[in-house]
Structure 1
Amino acid sequence: MTEAVATKTAETPGGTAQHGLQAHSDGGWDFGAPVQTRSARFTSTDVADFPTVTGREANWKFTPVAELGTLLDGELDGSQPSDDASGIDGLSLEWIDRTSELIGRAGTPEDRAAANAWTQFEKALYVNVSGEHTDAITLDRRGFGTEARAAHTVIEAAPQARAVVILKHTGPAHLTENVEVVVGEGAQLTLVSLQQWDEGAIHLSSHFAQVGRDASLKHIVVSLGGGIVRVNPTVHLNSEGGNGEALGAYFADAGQHLEHQVYMDHNAPHTRSRVTYKGALRGEGAHTVWIGDVLIRNSASGTDSYEQNRNLVLSEGTRADSIPNLEIETGDIAGAGHASATGRFDDEHLFYLQSRGISEEEARRLVVRGFLLEVIQQIGDADIEAELQAAIEAELTESAA
C-alpha cells in the first residue's frame, strides 16, 4: 500500500478551524463550518480519512447512498480485470504498480467512494498516447462482473499528441474507480466515457484531469445504461492557455439514477472552459442529477468560461436536479456565465413537425434525438456516433412501449 496523501481543510476530520469561526465561551459547537468554496473540500487517498456517508453531505445528498453499501465502506476486489484492455491498437498500454510515480498526478479523491477505490486497487491501467491518431482508440471495459470492485486508470497524452480515447462500459458491474487524465503541453485529447451497462449495474467513477500549457481536453460522458451511474469529472486548468470542454448526454428511464458532478478549476491566465450537459428522463422514478462547479481563481486572469445544463422531461414521475455554481475570485476575466433549464417539449416544435405530416409520437422522438445528438456529434468518430444514435433510438422505442 502506498502512503496516503491528505489535505486538511476547514473543520474536516483532523483539519483546522475556518478563519473567523470559534466556539463561544459558554460551550463548544458540535458541528463543522460549511465549506465555502469548492477548492476547500477535504481530499485524501485513504478511505479511513473520510467519515461515514450519511446522505446529508453536499456531494451525496441526491444519491441513493443506501444502495451503495460495499462501494462506500466494504472490502473491494482490486485485482486486474481479465479483459479491461482488449482490442487496443496504436498506443502504449501497460499495468503499473500502485506505487508508480505515474499515479497521483491529476487529482485526489473528494469523496469516500473514490478514496475506497484508491485505497484498495492493486494495479492501474496506464494508457500513453503519443503522435497523432486519426482513428478513435476504444478500451472495451466489460470484465468487471457482479462482485464489488475497485479500479484505477491513468491516461496520458504526450506533448503535441492528438487522439480520441473511448472508455466503453458494458455488461454487469459493481464498481468504484478513479480515472486520471494528464494532457501534455500542446496536446489535444478527446476522452469519451460511455456507460452502456446492463440493467442494475452500479458504477461510481471520479475523473481527474490536468491540462498542460496551450493544451486541450474534450471530456464527454454519455450515460444510457446501468441502475446507478455517477460519473464526476474534475478538470484542473493550471497552465496558461489551457482549454477544457466537458460535455454530457444522458437518458434516464424508469427507476434509473444517472448523476454527474462537474468541476472546472481555472488556476492560470487565459484559460477557457465550456460545460454542456443535456439529458432526457422518462418513466416512473427516473432521476438525474447534474451539479456544475466552476472556480475562477485570483491567478486566472483573462479566463473565459460558461456552463449549462438542459433537461427534457418526457413523462410524469421523473425528477431532475440541476445546480450550477460559479465562483469568481478576480475581476479580470474575459467572460463567465451559467444556465440551467428543465422542462417539457416545446409545443411550437411539435406543432411544426406535425403540420408537415409527422405523427405526434414520431415528432417527440425527433425532438429528443436532436436534443441529445447535439452533444454526441462532438465525439468526432462516425462509428461510435452512429452506435450511440441507435442506442438512443432503442431507449426511445423501449420507453414508448
Structure 2
Amino acid sequence: MLDVFTCGAIGHIAANPSKGEAAYRVLSQVDFDDAWAEITSWDGYVPTPLVELSGLAAKIGVDRIDYKHEGPRFGLGSFKALGGSYAAMRVLQRELGKRLGCDVRLEDIRNGAYRDACAGITLVSATDGNHGRSLAWGCQRFGAPCRIYIHAEVSEGRAEAMRALGAEVVRIEGDYDDSVLLAKQEAEKNGWFVVSDTSWPGYVDPPRDVMAGYGVMTREACEALERAPTHVFLQGGVGGLAASVAAGLRQHYGADAPRVVIVEPELAACLFESARNGRATNVAIAEETIMAGLSCGEPSGLAWDILAEEASDFLTIPDSIVAPTVRLLANADYGDPPVEAGESAVAGLAALIAARRNPELSARLGLDHSSRVLLIGSEGVTDPEIFSAIMKGADRV
C-alpha cells in the first residue's frame, strides 16, 4: 500500500542554520500573545484537534505522529482563518487610528463600533484560495469592502467560496506571483490596502500580523502535547506558516525545540532554492502543482529571516505521492481516526512516509523508531469536487 512512496523522488538539502534571534525578533512573544488574546475571543473559537496517528506511526517505524487538523477552523476549512482575518483587523486598526486621530481597540472593531468607517477602507489580496477566504470572512464581519485576486489555476469552487463571503473576485491570467503583483499595483493606484501573507521591502506589518495569527495554532498544539516533538515537518509556500510555527516552537521549547523540516512541491520550490543559495530566492512556476496552496515562486522575506536560522532540512516532493496521502488519511488505512484533508495539508505527511521508506534519507533527517513528529494539517476539504475526484482515484486534478 505504501509502494508509491518508495518510487517518489525526494529532493533534500541539509541546511546549516545560522543560530540567531530571528525567532524572537521577527515575531515577538508580544506579537503572539496579542493575536492569541484577540482570536480566542472570536465567536466560534475552539481549538482544532491534534490527531494522533498511532497506527501509521507503527507502520512506518516512528514513535509518534501528531497531526494538527485545521479543517474545522472557524468553519472556513483552514489555518488561514487565523491569519488573514486578524491581519485585516490590524490594518483597519492602524488606518482608523490615522483617520480618526485616536486609539482604536480591536475589540471595538470586532463589536461593530467602526462599521461605517470601515466601509470606506477597501482591503485586497492575492490568494490560491484559503488566505482570500479568511480575508473575505474578516471583511464581512468588520464591514470593509474586499477585493481578491486569483490566478488562472485557482478552482472555481474556491473562487465561489470567497464570493459567498462578499468578496469581489478578480481572476487573471498567469500564476500566483502575477496575482500578487497586480494586487499591489491596483491597491497603490486606488488607495486600497493590501493584506498579504508575504512580505516585500517596505511591506512587513500585515505579513507579521498574519504569522502572529498562525501562532494560535502552534500554541494549541504545544498545550496538547505531553512532550516536545523531535521533528516538525512544515509546508513551504511563501514560508509564513513554516516560519510562524518554527518561531512559536522555539519560543515555547527553547533548546528542546524540534528539528524543522521544510517540505515543498518540486514544481514550486522557492524555499528549497533559497536554502541552496543561502538567501531568499525566487523561482519561476512552469507547471502548477496539485498542492495549490503551495504554488508560490517568491518567498516572504520576513519568513526567510526565521527559516534561515531555524530550518535544518529542506525537502521537495513529487505530486505523485499527494493524492495517495489524502486517501490514506481519509480511509484510515491503519486504524487511525479518519481525517479529510486538502491537497496542501498532506505535504508533510507525504514527505515523512517517503523518508521512512528511504533508509539513507531517514538517517540524514535523524528519523528512527524513537522520533516524535508533529505535522500541520493546514486545510480540510476546501474544494469538495477536487477531494471527491481524489477519493475516486484521481492523482491529478
Task: Tell me the TM-score range normalised by the shorter chain.
Answer: under 0.3
Higher helix share: 2
**Greater Cα radius of gyration, structure 1 or 2:** 1
- TM normalised by structure 2 equals 0.28
- TM normalised by structure 1 equals 0.28
> Which fold has the larger relative contact order, with Cα–Cα distance below 8 Å and residues 6 or more apart in sequence?
2
Higher strand share: 1
